[in-house]
A and B are shown apart, each in its own frame.
Chain A
Amino acid sequence: MLRYMVKKLLSLAVSLVVASAVIFLALEVVPGDPAANMLGINAQEETLAALREELGLDRGPVARYADWVGGMLVGDFGTSYTYRTPVSEMIADRVVVSLPLALYALALSTLVAIPAGIWAAARRGSGVDLGVMGLTQLGVAIPNFWFAMLMVLIFAINLRWFSAGGFAGWDAGVGPAMHSLTLPAVALALPQAAILTRVMRSALLDTLGEDFIRTARAKGLTRGQTLWRHALRNALIPVLTIIGLQFSFLIAGAIIIENVFFLPGLGRLVFQAISARDLIVVESVVMLLVFAVIMVNFVVDLTYAAVDPRLRRSR
């Protein structure tokens, strides 16, 4: 177990280093002169020189990379060129919207998908199964931002149950804040729930075809008992993998969905930064999101070990 964890920790560290290097290369080395890139073609030579000085471009890329990573380790993401405020503060303001949104969506999709997948698998071939599978087919095919727009049309504009956009803020209390995140979270969760339902169902059906299920039935367990006691935990392993992978899609999806609902999250921040050519902010936000994805997958790896004794063996 310890060995497995150390191995995973090592690979986590390597992933983070390589990912940060890739981001740094893409945004600060590939463009040649980031300062020129940020200021555009009409920039004054003095302004350019000042920005180069500010970005420390006179030093080599390795030193700048080391500074950047070193800064992030202590929570210093640099200063936004356009807003003249520390990037870490801007991110902190936005994370409290984006992270709850992603988690809300993850919770919704998991809570819907796992029971639905189990239900469909337990009644394979029945009307229930066909119905659930048909719905997931639709759920997978719907572009979530379009689904979000339709929900705005129905629930905000026509029924007026929700506001069409904006964020109430956590100062207004948890209730109103969650209320304004509900439509975005549902939109975000829908395709993920559809995928997860399908994975849950097929993983469960695969497991139900295994030899040890027959052994369990030969002991006198009913179909239901074999499903709950033997099949489910085994089927959870592929499902966990998908949940881990989905987190990266949720993050990407959240960036788009925030646009539909005008939510002041990381997504809006990054688009503002792109139009302002504020590379520092883009770099930091991308790194943060990649960091989140890598961390989630690390946690999933650890969960495997909790579920599967074959990984726990201290070999």
Chain B
Amino acid sequence: MSARDAILAAARGRSLLVGALLTLVFTGAALVSLAWTPYDITALDIANKMTLPAPAHPLGTDHFGRDILSMIMVGARTSIAVALVAVGIGMGLGVPLGLAAAAHKGSLLDEVIMRGNDLVFAFPALLIAIMITAVFGASAVNAIIAIGIFNIPVFARLTRSGALSLWTRDYVLAARVAGKGAARISVEHILPNVTNLLIVQGTIQFSLGILAEAGLSYVGLGAQPPTPSWGRMLADSQTMISLAPHMTIFPGMAILLTVLGLNLTGDGLRDLLDPQLRRAGR
């Protein structure tokens, strides 16, 4: 192995480690915030507003004197919950649709599912959120639904394309010779062999969900006060950016590091799972 390859391999190996670590830290922070935060995030302390990072407030305070570290911890909860549920919606609906489309390739069902997918792709999550908000008003649930809907075609497409290549395998033919129907084959033979793909894509959609949630709450289409969220913290900080830049910097860093962690995890998992997939499923 050349030095260059060794460096590359090490970089890859470390990306999974760093990614998993970052992900753990932020999930941990979100979980801890359920039981404990350094300060109560609803308590206002105007005397100590917009203080710079100091031992008492490691990340400083905002314009109401609330502790930014505590708010970031609680914000992690919102972000992670929204993104996770949205991935759940996407997988829960997209995977069965993709499996069904592949099992009946070329049928009307396949055509309808795929055209439907194309259509949803024309509606970025933000537009869906705008429509929902225009009718029902803003809430975190809107964000979940909007991001979740956008996730459906992502998973449906991925599942379908993965499944289609598996349907040409002889082991599927063998299962048909054994009298198994399309649904059974999809569950027994196709699904287990697309899980690796789904895990990797799931991590990526998770990170995209966190970005999308931040964007939606930033423009006021996501979580509403008093629920703290990273996007809202950034929106609140905007007018004070020249006075208290730390109010802008830390929540943004939180988003950046969480997303980075998830992406590194996804990349690492792909490298880890792909060769296995290639070797075993060829």
Contact = CB atoms under 8 A, between A and B. Distances in A.
Q: Do chains A and B touch in the complex (CB under 8 A)?
A: yes
Given A146-B256, A149-B241, A153-B241, A14 B115 contact: yes
Contacts of B115: 11, 14-15, 18
Interface residues of A, number: 51
Given A138-B260, A255-B219, A27 B134 contact: yes
Q: Helix, strand, loop or mixed for chain B's interface?
A: helix
Contacts of B130: 255, 270, 274, 282, 286
B65 interface: no
B183 to A, nearest CB: 28
Given A23-B131, A286-B127, A256 B248 contact: no
Interface stretch (A77-85, A93-101, A178-186, A290-298): A290-298
Contacts of A256: 126, 215, 218-219
A150 interface: yes
A294 B135 contact: no
A152 B240 CA distance: 12
B50 interface: no
Contact of B252 (A30, A143, A259, A282): A143
Nearest to A289: B127
Interface string A238-279: 000000010011011101100110000000001101100101
Contact of A290 (B127, B255, B260): B127
Contact of A140 (B7, B255, B263): B263
A19 interface: yes
Nearest to B116: A18
Interface string A25-50: 01100110000010000000000000
Contacts of B215: 143, 145, 252-253, 256
Nearest to B2: A125
B211 interface: yes
Contacts of A249: 124
Interface string B219-243: 1100000000000001001100110
Interface in B195-232: 207, 211, 214-215, 218-220
Contacts of B241: 149, 152-153, 157
Contact of A146 (B8, B118, B255, B263): B255
A137 interface: yes
B229 to A, nearest CB: 12
B56 interface: no
A248 B125 CA distance: 10
A142 interface: yes
Contacts of A282: 130-131, 134
A27, A30, A145, A245 pick with most chain B CB within 10 angstroms: A145
11 contacts: A15-B122, A26-B132, A143-B252, A252-B215, A259-B219, A279-B134, A279-B135, A282-B131, A286-B130, A289-B127, A293-B124
Interface of B: 4-5, 7-8, 11, 115, 118-119, 121-127, 130-135, 207, 211, 214-215, 218-220, 234, 237-238, 241-242, 245, 248-249, 251-252, 255-257, 259-260, 263-264
Give 10 closest A-B pairs by Cβ, nearest first.
Answer: A146-B252, A252-B124, A252-B126, A141-B260, A141-B259, A282-B134, A293-B122, A26-B131, A248-B124, A157-B242
Given A22-B119, A143-B211, 19 more contacts: A11-B115, A15-B118, A19-B119, A22-B123, A23-B131, A26-B135, A125-B5, A142-B256, A143-B214, A143-B255, A146-B214, A146-B256, A255-B219, A260-B238, A270-B130, A274-B133, A286-B127, A286-B131, A289-B127
